[in-house]
Amino acid sequence: MVEFPEQAEAAKLEHRLSLRFEPEKVTGPGQFHRATIDPMSPATLSPDALSTDAPGNDTLAGIHVPLITPFAADGTVAATSLEGLAHAVLDAGTRGIVALGTTAEPASLTADEKHTVIEVCVRVCRERGATLILGAGSHDTRATAAALAELAHLPHVTAALVPVPYFTRPQAAGVLAHFTSLAAASPVPLIVYHVPYRTAQPLSAACLRALGALPGVVGMKYAAGGVDEQAVELLGDLPEDFAVLAGDDLFVSPLLALGAAGGILASAHLAIESFVELAAAWHAGEATRARNLGHRLTALSAALFSEPNPTVLKGVLHAQGRIPTADVRLPLVPASRATVDAALDRLAEL
């Protein structure tokens, strides 16, 4: 079999990761106990770059809701409805919210609209003492670093949710170099958004573990479209103070069963208390209760994701009177009435 140079380099990197990424103690109050080895550079990162109040596994544990962006009839952001949604999910026991995640349609929002969303979410989380995760970044390292630098002006942001580079599809060494660079300079801790069916970047468990061992990386939103071998390996040997959050709503229950700390779930706009109960049941080791509830919630999530997210979810929220319209922005189009009705039926059956 012919082996191309890039494949050979990737194989070498994977071997290096398996040998070199052993956790290393980082001393100091509130700092992470993480490996400080950067495989891309002979220099090691200084612990001084770490936030002294960075979140750990406990802070990120539980259910976080990636809020939609509701639109008014005139097409503007319905800020009052957004604030109501934020309070509602926190009232029901979620750990926190995610602003400007993919569910919020951030690619279609203007800079002013993004500012409005952030302003609302920061205010609510500050009032409620809730965790706020902010979606940030792209496949360009310098642009992502610039976006993260702006978060220094937002002291109430718990962490930034940053995607694995998409479209350019760097090799594993490039992915690690990308996050090493970002984490060293970011004013807030990072949560890696691993979503290979969107990034075309399947990463090995060794690479995922290496990302989790980087100083300044506190968690990973794991959305691989299922429970794969890499998830099992990663959750079986997690870096210290590193939280895996389920990112595929249909697979939150099995990932929690394997040891995920919680989830970032669009479905948890609905049946909020049930998703919170699901996480609590798995954490308490109540497998029978968790398994039965998980099956019912999976049916709801399947209905909500039967058309592109967040089209069905917005249809349901509008039918409930919680947002003024079910509008989404092109290239998305509203979900069909039949699909929305089917999701409402699943919700009623819970």
Rounded to the nearest 5 percent, the helix, strand and coil shares of the chain are: 50, 10, 40
Residue 328 buriedness (CB in 10 A; 0-12 / 13-18 / 19+): buried
Give the dihedral sign, CA 227/233/56/141: negative
| Rounded CA separation 326/166 (Å) | 29
For residue 199, how many C-alpha atoms fall within 13 Å in the half-sphere facing its CB? 25
Q: Cα dist. 131→9, 62, 68, 121, 295 in Å?
A: 39, 10, 17, 10, 27
Q: Name the residue type at position 138.
A: S
User: How many other C-beta atoms can be found within 10 angstroms of the C-beta atom of residue 99?
Assistant: 28
User: Would you say 63 is a known binding-site residue?
Assistant: no
Name the active-site residue from 114, 221, 222, 314: 221
Answer yes or no: 221 catalytic.
yes
Strand, helix or coil for residue 258: helix
Helix axes 79-91, 111-128, angle to 10 degrees: 30
Tokens of 26: 């980082």
Name the active-site residue from 114, 193, 222, 314: 193
Answer yes or no: 193 catalytic.
yes
User: Would you say 264 is a known binding-site residue?
Assistant: yes
Helix axes 5-20, 205-212, angle to 10 degrees: 50
Active site residues: 193, 221
Q: Which residues are annotated as a binding site for pyruvate?
A: 103, 264
Q: Which residues are annotated as a binding site?
A: 103, 264
